[in-house]
Structures are given as C-alpha cells and as structure tokens.
C-alpha cells in the first residue's frame, strides 16, 4: 500500500473514535425537476446533454428500488443486490453517474447538485413512483442531495450504506471530520498514477484487506480497478471534492420517509462515527444497523447480509 492509502486508513481509523457534528448548513436550491432530452433502452440524455447509461431489471410492475453507486465505480458494483431483489419481484434501476462507467464524460458538472439532478432525470423519465432510494458511499450523498433538492414526492423509503453524509471534511464547525490533507493526497495520487491508486485502495482499506490476517481477494480488486478506470480522469478527480467537501446536514433534515442506515464499524474510508452514526441522528426516525468488523465495501464482503437487510426493510409496511 502506498503512502496515500496508508494515510487514509490511519486517519480514518483514528477519526472513528471521534464524534460530533454541528447541524448547520446552507439551504440547498430547489430547482424544478429536470427533463430528459432522449431515451433509449439503455441510455437517457439529460437536459444539459449528458448521456447516462442505466439498467432497468426485474418485473416492470414490481416495487421500485434505485441504486446510486460509490466513487469511482459504476452501476455494476450493485449487481449482487440488483440480481437478488429482481429475483424477489422488485424492479431495480441503476445508472452510471455522469463521468463514470459507460456514461459520457462532461468537463463540467461533476458535483453533487448535478448528480442529484441526474438521478431525478432517471426517475422522472422512467416515471418511477414510490421509489426506495439506495445509495452507497458517494451514492448516499447523491440520495441525500436528491431529497434536499427534489423532495420525496416520488420516494417511499431511503437507504444509506457506508455513505458519506452528513459531512466528511474537517472544518471549524465540523471538527470531527477528515483533514483536507487526506483528500489532497488522493487527488495527488490520482494525477500521478490513477491506475496504481485504483489498485491500492481496493487491495488495502476499502475491503479491509490491509487488516492483520486478511487475505486479498484479487478478483474483487480487479473488478474495482476495471470499473474505476472506465470513468473519466477529470470526472473522477472532481468527484473527490464532491464526496468529501459537500455538506449534507441540511439535506438529511429534510428526510421524511422511513430510512435505513447501514455501516461497518471498521470502515477505514468513511468512518462510522463521522458518517453513519451521525446521519442516523440527523434523520428523524432513522434505523441504524452496525456491521461489527465490516469494512467500507461491505456490499461485497457482506453481500448476503446486506441483501437480507434490504429485503426485510423493503417488506416492512
């Protein structure tokens, strides 16, 4: 593991002993829902000309679940959950975030407001209703900002898994956050050798393979690398600021639907005390499920448990 990932793991582990976030944030904008320009069987073009690749699996008359993926991955990272829920009668929809995976790579707009608006475009274009929004890591921020900007008129429930809200970055009013030097280190490593960085992260802290006695699953590392490298350099670079420096505290206070928060207590990427536990406190009525010893990438390392917890939550009246 290189210096960047060692720093990230060490910093996050230390921060996992800290807690305490203030609940102040600027009010996000409330734009009208964006409209799509063009739709095909696997792509939707947004009003600003970005082509989003999407998957729409399962019975079309089934209850709808959307999935928002983490950085720098794409919708393939959800395949275990999507297959499982589709087999249980759910309509599951996931898109590759702008600049990631098979979606187009715009120079601008690589920020949470655009990510949320793109999710709204997918939901509106497919006319999805009573949706359960599921977000992992950066995707959890996308879900939070979607609710902050577009409300819950089409939303039935929400799930945040290993997610970045409420606010990752250490600031004067967020003293428990992660120092900006950690994210600057990731940016530096991305510019120097993105391919190597995308090997170091999954082979180290992302899946907990840097823990004593852990055995690296090379296939999981290779899949992570392949998804990451399919994204654009500029887009994934900009996204580091999007997931680390966006304040979601005001967005979380607008959640008015049943919400499940899942987080591992050995998450070295997004420490549970900075993220999952604080989100559960800010979201009225949220339920927190802690996975003892689980790493950040628990949708893979603990996929059977995640699938069962998602199904149980979806089936609750």
pLDDT of residue 37: 66
pLDDT of residue 234: 98
Backbone φ and ψ for 53, nearest 5 degrees, come out as -80, 140
Domain ranges of the chain: 3-16+29-315
Convert the pLDDT of each residue in 41-74 to its tens digit: 999 999 999 999 999 999 999 999 999 999 999 9
CA-nearest of 219, 239, 222, 243 to 231 is 239
Q: What is the mean pLDDT of each run of 10 residues along the chain (317 residues)?
A: 48 40 40 65 96 98 98 98 98 98 98 98 97 98 98 98 98 96 98 98 98 98 98 98 98 98 98 98 98 98 98 96
The set of catalytic residues is 137, 267, 296
CA distance 116 to 148: 9
pTM of the predicted model as reported, rounded to 2 decimal places:
0.90
Convert the pLDDT of each residue in 87-139 to its tens digit: 999 999 999 999 999 999 999 999 999 999 999 999 999 999 999 999 999 99
CA distance 74 to 82: 13
* CATH topology for the 3-16+29-315 domain: Rossmann fold (3.40.50)
CA-nearest of 139, 297, 125, 303 to 211 is 297
């Amino acid at each position: 593991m290189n210096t960047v990932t060692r720093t990230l793991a060490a910093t996050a582990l230390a921060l996992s002993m800290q807690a305490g976030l203030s609940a102040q944030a600027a009010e996000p904008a409330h734009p009208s829902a964006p409209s799509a320009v063009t739709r095909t069987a696997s792509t939707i073009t947004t009003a600003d000309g970005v082509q989003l690749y999407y998957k729409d699996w399962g019975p079309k008359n089934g209850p709808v679940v959307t999935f928002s993926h983490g950085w720098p991955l794409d919708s393939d990272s959800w395949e275990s959950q999507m297959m499982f829920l589709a087999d249980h009668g759910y309509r599951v929809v996931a898109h590759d975030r702008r600049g990631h995976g098979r979606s187009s790579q715009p120079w601008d707009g690589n920020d949470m407001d655009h990510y949320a608006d793109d999710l709204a475009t997918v939901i509106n274009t497919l006319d999805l209703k009573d949706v359960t929004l599921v977000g992992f890591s950066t995707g959890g921020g996308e879900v939070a900002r979607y609710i902050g900007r577009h409300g819950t008129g089409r939303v039935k429930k929400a799930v945040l898994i290993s997610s970045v809200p409420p606010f990752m970055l250490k600031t004067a009013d967020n003293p428990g956050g992660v120092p900006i030097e950690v994210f600057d280190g990731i940016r530096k490593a991305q510019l120097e050798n993105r391919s190597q960085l995308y090997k170091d992260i999954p082979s180290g802290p992302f899946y907990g393979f840097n823990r004593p006695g852990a055995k690296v699953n090379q296939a999981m590392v290779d899949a992570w690398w392949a998804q990451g490298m399919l994204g654009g350099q500029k887009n994934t670079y900009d996204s580091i600021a999007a997931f680390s420096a966006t304040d979601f505290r005001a967005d979380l206070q607008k959640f008015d639907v049943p919400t499940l928060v899942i987080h591992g207590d050995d998450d070295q990427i997004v420490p549970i005390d900075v993220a999952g536990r604080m989100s559960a406190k800010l979201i009225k009525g949220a339920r927190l499920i802690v996975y003892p010893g689980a790493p950040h990438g628990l949708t893979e390392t603990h996929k059977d448990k995640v699938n069962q917890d998602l199904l149980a939550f979806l089936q609750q009246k």
